[in-house]
Amino acid sequence: MDLRAYAAKAAEAQPMPLTDVPAPKPGLAVHIDGDYAAYYCSGNDDTEPGQARRNLLDRVYEAKRLSGATKAVMHLTDRASTKGDRFLVATIKPYQGQRGGRKPRNWEMLREYMEGYTGDKFTVHTWKTREADDGFAYVAEATDTVLLTADKDMRMLPGTHMLWKSMDLIHVPRGTFELIGRDGELYGHKWFWQQMLQGDTADNIPGLPKYIKPNKAEAQVGKATAASLLKDVHDNREAFRVVSNLYRGYYGEESMDRLVEQACLLWLRNDRDADLCNYEQIMPRSDEVLAAGERMRERVQQAKDRLKEFQ
């Protein structure tokens, strides 16, 4: 996702009106991806700071109005967040290692504005030990809610998804395995399994780099191939069987370690503590999975201990 490209168009972007605007529902909250909003609402380098703030507040107002929510929560990943230790989990590629470049001119101002906001338009939740994505997962697990984000990772979560550009609503019932939204995209747990194959370029997560075809040839795993490999899968147990066999075919004896590493990076953690092995809840109980998870946990702890030596 090219965040700067989105930001450059922010000043011109206007929400598309929905045909049906729901009545306000007391207590309903819309949860907003503040990390993304800082980019999108900044506008381009010619956008005045005041306009960037208005872009943000307009987005909050429209999100509440078009969802029926009576309050808004802005989720931010703390600047010093451990991000659920994903940087230590990743061994195949550096987590988010491709990110960089210049941020929009108003980005810093909007971040500081949101971080210190005390008004009545929204409240702020800053996550220190997990990513804001995991914060969305935590609230989505606990209660029915509206999720406003452009981050495709969130499509594995239950709740009412509000599309960032159109602000249209797509409801994903709790426990959904597969749902094709009106935007044509895949929602539910199957999206997690598809990412386990195709990876996530936005976060530099490789997924399964290649798979072994029946003729023993290696082939790349892109979005279309991942979807094809999972086309006959209808629940988490079947998905685990297909995905684990594909990992085993490519990685051999290391397959389970590689599988749980990717699961830990991709799964949005919905527990209070953002546990490394929170992904286990949608996998069949397996000694192989549990053992690989414990090896990963031990490896991450050893990395933490080494880092402490330099503090």
CB 6 within 8 A of CB 40: yes
- Of the pLDDT bands very low, low, confident and very high (cuts 50, 70, 90), residue 307 is confident
Q: What integer pLDDT is reported at residue 21 of this predicted model?
A: 82
Question: What's the chain's average pLDDT?
Answer: 92
Q: What integer pLDDT is reported at residue 100 of this predicted model?
A: 67
* pLDDT tens-digit map of 148-176: 999 999 999 999 999 999 999 999 999 99
Q: What integer pLDDT is reported at residue 102 of this predicted model?
A: 82
- Nearest to residue 30, comparing CAs of 166, 152, 123, 155? 123
- Around Cβ 174, how many Cβ atoms within 10 Å? 10
Its pTM stands at: 0.90
Question: Which residue do the tokens 């899968």 mark?
Answer: 233
CB 139 within 8 A of CB 32: no
Kindly tell me if the per-residue pLDDT of 18 is higher than 70: no
Phi/psi of residue 260, nearest 5 degrees? -70, -30
3-state SS assignment for residue 108? helix
Kindly tell me if the per-residue pLDDT of 80 is higher than 70: yes
Q: What integer pLDDT is reported at residue 221 of this predicted model?
A: 96
3-state SS assignment for residue 99? coil
3-state SS assignment for residue 151? coil
Residue 285 has, within 13 A of its CA and on its CB side, a CA count of 0
Query: What domains lie within the chain, and their CATH numbers?
Result: 3-15+25-186 (3.40.50.1010), 189-308 (no CATH)
Instruction: Please tell me the chain's helix, strand, coil percentages from 3-state DSSP, rounded to the nearest 5.
Output: 45, 15, 40
CA distance 46 to 10: 12
Amino acid residing at 45? D
Kindly tell me if the per-residue pLDDT of 183 is higher than 80: yes
Copy the structure tokens of residue 256: 């389970």
Q: What integer pLDDT is reported at residue 24 of this predicted model?
A: 86
Pairing of strands 169-172, 159-163: antiparallel
CB 188 within 8 A of CB 172: yes
Round to the nearest angstrom and report the end-to-end CA distance of the chain.
35
Q: For the chain, what is the largest distance between any 2 Cα atoms, rounded to a whole number of angstroms? A: 62
CB 170 within 8 A of CB 183: yes
Radius of gyration (Cα) for the chain, nearest Å? 20
Give me the percent of the chain exceeding a pLDDT of 90: 85
What sign does the CA torsion over 239, 245, 251, 257 have? positive
- Of the pLDDT bands very low, low, confident and very high (cuts 50, 70, 90), residue 311 is low
